Structure 1
Amino acid sequence: PDDIAGATLYLCSRAGSYVTGAILTIDGGQSVQHGLTLFKE
């Protein structure tokens, strides 16, 4: 919950207004251990 709250607050802030079309991985660090999954388009 804290990770999601931080990302939400950032995206709702003035600084977050520059973030568009991004995928934010909020998984508590799980992707650091196993690597990111790349999706085919």
Structure 2
Amino acid sequence: MSPQSAFENSGPAVAHLIMIIYNGNLETLKTNRETYALPQTK
């Protein structure tokens, strides 16, 4: 098995992991923005 074929075989799993990290970071950013905005809106 060449490194390229190994990378292609792991592609879907890597893409899935990236999406999990990306979505998790978006949720964290949204939560932080809401948390930081609370004192400013009062």
* Normalised TM-score (structure 1): 0.33
Structure with greater contact order relative to length (CA < 8 Å, sep ≥ 6): 1
TM-score scaled by length of structure 2: 0.32
